[in-house]
Amino acid sequence: MSRGPELIITEKDNAARRIAEILSGGSATAERKNDVNVYKWGGKRCIGLSGHVVGVDFPPEYSDWRDVEPVELIDAPVRKTPTQEGIVSALRTLARNASRVTIATDYDREGELIGKEAYELVREVNEDAPIDRVRFSSITENEVREAFADPDDLDFDLAAAGEARQVIDLTWGAALTRFLSLSARQLGNDFISVGRVQGPTLKLIVDREREIRAFDPEAYWELFGDLSKTGGDPFEAQYFLENDRGNEAERVWDEAVAGTLTEALAAADDAVVDDVRRRTRTDEPPTPFNTTAYIRAAGSLGYSAQRAMSIAEELYTAGYVTYPRTDNTVYPDDLEPRELLEELSGDVAFGDDAASLLDRDDGEIEPTEGDEETTDHPPIHPTGDLPGASDLSDDEREVYELIVRRFLATCAPAAEWERLRVVALANGEATAIANEADPLAALRNPDDAEGTPELAADGGLRLKANGKRLLEAGYHEVYPYRSSDERIVPDVEVGETLSLSGRRTEAKETQPPRRYGQSRLIEEMEKRGVGTKATRHRTLEKLYDRGYVEGDPPRPTRLAESVVEAAEGFAEHVVSEEMTAQLERDMQAIAAGEKGYDEVTAASRELLDRVFEDLTESREAIGDQLQESLKADKTLGPCPECGSDLLVRQSRAGSYFVGCDGYPDCEYTLPLPSTGKPLILDEACDDHDLHHVKMLAGRKTFVHGCPRCKADEADEAEDEVIGACPDCGTGAASPRDEGGETADAGGELAIKRLRSGSRLVGCTRYPDCDYSLPLPRRGEIEVTEETCEEHDLPHLRVHSGDEPWELGCPICNYREFRAREEGSELQTVEGIGERTAEKLEGAGITGVDELKSADPDDLAGDVDGVGPDTVRDWQAKAD
DNA sequence: GCAAGGTC
């Protein structure tokens, strides 16, 4: 047996570094091998993989989509090949002379499989060294030491469960994806994919869209009035009816009854308090963050799921927060909340709040726990290493504070609310009139299957008001992301008379269910067991990339509907969450030794064989349907010249425009705005029968409308001259170019409207002179009497929204705009956020070039809270 | 070029 060093293998570099630190007592040194860190101390080496370093795939003879029938993939062999050559070869080199190997990958099923992959790579070069497995769910001194003191063996059954999943996912995914793509002749980048996770996720979105489309709105009425004590503030109360089962109804489903009740309400000047109920309610602090809860909270701050995960990843690699991909909602025993709170109390933003939790009278700190306790990683929480003032961008800072405050909240006391419910009976004529109405009709909800309930004994017209008051702010003191708004209803007594004013009846309609937002979808996926903490947000991204959903909240395209329909008809399994559930059961059975890998994969292949029997017969019909949908997703409406369809197309340069399906016979086109990606809306133009277009461009998203209307408006609009062109007009200072053309060619500046919908101030001699200044897309532009002395141009005023705003001189405006852009250019440097950029601008640094050429010591003297080293750091990063 | 699952 070899007497070489002992080798420890982890799932990722970060874990390798920390484990080396713990086991070596801090003496480990790092060394690069093939771009991989190897940590070294005494007779030990520790290397981190990068998740799976080998992948499953078919042999190369199956790689041509046209040569191989998709059905052949079902029984094709599946191989494992290295996908991370550098890491694999480093591992082989280290393993060759290792005397012992310890697998320390993550403590979950996928970690066991990654461990087995490492095991096999080791065995290829070293037949003898004993190979152990250690398991721990958080990388802390105690857990790691205990695990290494008592190592275990790899669980080959558990790893085999993971391998079964790999093979089943690959065969189903590849065979069906190729089948759909080939049948619709979509072979380039626009192939049509399906899989065990994207299938049910897409069906979830499409099913909701079907519900929305099938929804039939129902009219109803609600009545309100404002009550007040003498001299007191008014508070809103709502009409309701209560039956003998104690059920309350606020909605009136009959227009005539609503009319009578409105009359009754009008007849009352005051109302007598009939009932006052007061109770306190405990509002428990939130549970620790797992990935899904974190994505949801970041979502309510306006971050997409993708963005939230990438920021968390940054914070993790920088060492400020723990691993962001976790299912766990229970802190490990090792976590000392008191110590962590002490470390956090050093921060300027949340330090006082952290300290306030340490100062509580009862002294005890007992963090909350969620329902999900797993072995993978701890819940996401701050590490206690505080970032410096300029270490984070603004977004990173905001998200970091969210994670910190979530931790604070889990250590904070519950909040206490007082709920106050007041019921008042309208006085005067109201009762008599109200009793004329058929209150049964008022209470009858068409959706209520229980039938008509008995009425409460007393008639009349009753109003209720619900108030809530925060008695103990509790965790809200440290966690401002959940509403702690109060609704004040004053203290009143039974029998007290309140005056009634502000009576109103609101006509409403029932609303269709809402589309799922991104974080809501991820929550649904988790609830249904579809995907994992590390993949759910990526699956969503994939649906966007594949052209299955657009916009936010994601809306399915026609293509998505056709794919789901085709799957429902022929391969229901792949759009059903039951596929994952079944697989999960099989994996449990393999892990428990009750079923074999071969048995499970063979059964899955048989099922896929049967799917293909039906599918093959309908190949053409499915292909036609998919192609039709692909075209429908791009169709705006009829071409005015030839009657074919107008389609959204993309030029070779990448810009979007509207072109005719009859091209090249018909060359009709319309321009689209240059910013954003076009989304075709349901709404259509009455004049041209063309669908409206929305341009998706993040925060700059806007509705363009009917592209033909926009082009017509531009054609009809007169240019409005506002002055001389500074490049070629009267008084222009210098010769324009060496082509002999001189200044003072008589060019004038005019407000112009382009066919693409944008507006600008440009030279009347365009295209000979291309001087131009941008104008906002929205609002009426008024040319005022006021003149800019510097540029001899009128000030402009923009009328959009409620208040007109002053754009001022268009040249000055553009100059300010450019300055702002330059300022924000600073933010492209890692570590510089909005606030830091502002400070730098205050010191006269407005662009990256200026930053690079600045003297670090001088600049540090001019900017608060920034040292020369930080400046040098920025300068290095800006290069 | 297909999936889903790791990690960066």
Strand A415-426 vs strand A219-228: parallel, antiparallel, or unpaired?
unpaired
Nucleotide nearest to A52 (CA to C1'): B6
* Mean pLDDT of the A245-252 span: 80
Q: How many CB atoms lie within 10 A of CB A2?
A: 12
Look-up: residue for tokens 């005056």? A499
More confident residue, A766 or A356: A356
Q: Quick one: which H or E segment has residue A166?
A: helix A156-183
> In the 36-55 stretch of chain A, whose C-beta falls under 7 Å of nucleic acid strand B?
48, 50-53, 55
Residue A128 CB lies within 7 Å of the nucleic strand B: no
Residue A10 CB lies within 7 Å of the nucleic strand B: no
Q: How many CB atoms lie within 10 A of CB A387?
A: 17
Q: How many CB atoms lie within 10 A of CB A455?
A: 15
Kindly report which listed range (A218-222, A230-234, A328-332, A781-785) carries the lowest average pLDDT score. A781-785
Question: What would the pLDDT profile of A606-632 be if each residue is shown by its tens digit?
Answer: 999 999 999 999 999 999 999 999 999
* Mean pLDDT of the A423-445 span: 69
Q: Report the C-alpha gap between A598 and A826 in whole angstroms.
A: 58
**Both tokens assigned to A254:** 């009959």
Residue A117 CB lies within 7 Å of the nucleic strand B: no
Q: Report the C-alpha gap between A409 and A231 in whole angstroms.
A: 40
Residue A81 CB lies within 7 Å of the nucleic strand B: no
Strand A100-104 vs strand A131-133: parallel, antiparallel, or unpaired?
parallel
Please, are residues A114 and A105 in contact by the beta-carbon 8 Å criterion? Answer: yes
Residue A879 CB lies within 7 Å of the nucleic strand B: no
Q: Would the CA dihedral through A744, A750, A754, A759 be positive or negative?
A: positive
pLDDT band at A338 (very low <50, low <70, confident <90, very high): very high
pLDDT band at A738 (very low <50, low <70, confident <90, very high): very low
Residue A421 has pLDDT above 80, yes or no: yes
Please, are residues A229 and A490 in contact by the beta-carbon 8 Å criterion? Answer: yes
pLDDT value of residue A361: 66
Residue A733 has pLDDT above 60, yes or no: no
**Both tokens assigned to A511:** 């609303």
Residue A829 has pLDDT above 60, yes or no: no
DSSP state, residue A557: -
DSSP sequence for A94-117: HHHT-SEEEEE--SSHHHHHHHHH
User: In chain A, what percentage of residues exceed pLDDT 90?
Assistant: 62
Question: Which residue has the closest alpha carbon to B4 C1'?
Answer: A169
Q: Report the C-alpha gap between A249 and A239 in whole angstroms.
A: 9
Question: Which residue has the closest alpha carbon to B8 C1'?
Answer: A50
Residue A115 has pLDDT above 50, yes or no: yes
Nucleotide nearest to A536 (CA to C1'): B4
CA A803 to chain centre: 33
**Residue A323 appears among annotated catalytic residues:** yes
Give the fold, CATH level 3, of A6-49+84-154. Rossmann fold (3.40.50)
Q: Report the C-alpha gap between A223 and A241 in whole angstroms.
A: 11
Indicate the CATH number for domain A219-284+416-509: 2.70.20.10
Q: Report which of A680, A689, A706 is spatially closest to residue A558, judged by C-alpha positions.
A: A680
Domain ranges of chain A: 6-49+84-154, 164-214+515-627, 219-284+416-509, 291-413, 634-714, 717-808, 820-878
- The whole-chain average pLDDT of chain A stands at 88
Q: Report the C-alpha gap between A698 and A796 in whole angstroms.
A: 28
Give the fold, CATH level 3, of A291-413. Topoisomerase I; domain 4 (1.10.290)
Nucleotides of B under 7 A from a protein CB: 1-8
Residue A441 DSSP SS3: helix
Look-up: residue for tokens 């008014």? A234
pLDDT band at A369 (very low <50, low <70, confident <90, very high): very high
pLDDT value of residue A380: 97
Residue A112 CB lies within 7 Å of the nucleic strand B: no
Residue A457 has pLDDT above 50, yes or no: no
Question: What would the pLDDT profile of A120-153 be if each residue is shown by its tens digit?
Answer: 999 999 999 999 999 998 888 888 999 999 999 9
Q: Report the C-alpha gap between A217 and A565 in whole angstroms.
A: 26
Kindly report which listed range (A316-320, A786-790, A813-817) carries the lowest average pLDDT score. A813-817
Kindly report which listed range (A62-66, A158-162, A195-199, A812-816) carries the lowest average pLDDT score. A812-816
**Both tokens assigned to A307:** 């963005």
pLDDT band at A724 (very low <50, low <70, confident <90, very high): confident
CA at A162, C1' at B6: how many angstroms apart? Answer: 12
Question: What would the pLDDT profile of A283-324 be if each residue is shown by its tens digit?
Answer: 999 999 999 999 999 999 999 999 999 999 999 989 899 999
Residues A777-787 as b/e (b if ≥16 CB within 10 A, e otherwise) read eebebeeeeee
pLDDT value of residue A278: 96
pLDDT value of residue A453: 44
Angle between helices A156-183 and A558-570 (to 10 degrees): 110
Dihedrals phi, psi of A499, to nearest 5 degrees = -85, 150
DSSP H helical segments within A717-855, as ranges? 810-825, 834-842, 848-853
**Both tokens assigned to A657:** 């425009």
Q: Report the C-alpha gap between A55 and A190 in whole angstroms.
A: 24
Q: How many CB atoms lie within 10 A of CB A693?
A: 25
**Both tokens assigned to A510:** 């029932």
Q: Report the C-alpha gap between A823 and A759 in whole angstroms.
A: 25
Kindly report which listed range (A411-415, A588-592, A681-685, A782-786) carries the lowest average pLDDT score. A782-786
Q: Report the C-alpha gap between A73 and A90 in whole angstroms.
A: 33
Please, are residues A255 and A218 in contact by the beta-carbon 8 Å criterion? Answer: no
Kindly report which listed range (A315-324, A475-484, A637-646, A738-747) carries the lowest average pLDDT score. A738-747
Residue A727 amino acid letter? D
Q: Report which of A173, A162, A191, A197 is spatially closest to residue A74, judged by C-alpha positions.
A: A173
Q: Report which of A754, A739, A604, A672 is spatially closest to residue A176, judged by C-alpha positions.
A: A604
Kindly report which listed range (A237-251, A362-376, A641-655, A657-671) carries the lowest average pLDDT score. A237-251
Question: Which residue has the closest alpha carbon to B6 C1'?
Answer: A51
pLDDT value of residue A841: 58
Question: What would the pLDDT profile of A176-204 be if each residue is shown by its tens digit?
Answer: 999 999 999 999 889 999 999 999 999 99
* Mean pLDDT of the A717-740 span: 69
Residue A115 CB lies within 7 Å of the nucleic strand B: no
Dihedrals phi, psi of A874, to nearest 5 degrees = -60, -45
DSSP sequence for A223-289: EEEEEE-TTSPPEEEEEEEEBTT--EE--B--HHHHHHHHHHHHT-SEEEEEEEEEEEEEEPPPPPB
Dihedrals phi, psi of A773, to nearest 5 degrees = -130, 140
Find the catalytic residue in A323, A516, A597, A771: A323
Q: Report the C-alpha gap between A621 and A110 in whole angstroms.
A: 40
pLDDT value of residue A207: 98
Q: Report the C-alpha gap between A23 and A102 in whole angstroms.
A: 13
pLDDT value of residue A875: 62
More confident residue, A577 or A764: A577
Question: What would the pLDDT profile of A381-391 be if each residue is shown by its tens digit?
Answer: 999 999 998 89
pLDDT value of residue A750: 82
pLDDT band at A783 (very low <50, low <70, confident <90, very high): confident
Residue A791 has pLDDT above 60, yes or no: yes
CATH of A164-214+515-627, one of 1.10.3470.10, 3.40.50.300, 1.10.460.10, 3.50.50.60: 1.10.460.10
Q: Report the C-alpha gap between A352 and A336 in whole angstroms.
A: 19
pLDDT value of residue A787: 85
pLDDT value of residue A852: 66
Q: How many CB atoms lie within 10 A of CB A820?
A: 12
Please, are residues A665 and A644 in contact by the beta-carbon 8 Å criterion? Answer: no
pLDDT value of residue A173: 98
Residue A174 CB lies within 7 Å of the nucleic strand B: yes
Indicate the CATH number for domain A820-878: 1.10.150.20
More confident residue, A436 or A173: A173
Kindly report which listed range (A584-588, A735-739, A756-760, A875-879) carries the lowest average pLDDT score. A735-739
CA at A654, C1' at B1: how many angstroms apart? Answer: 21
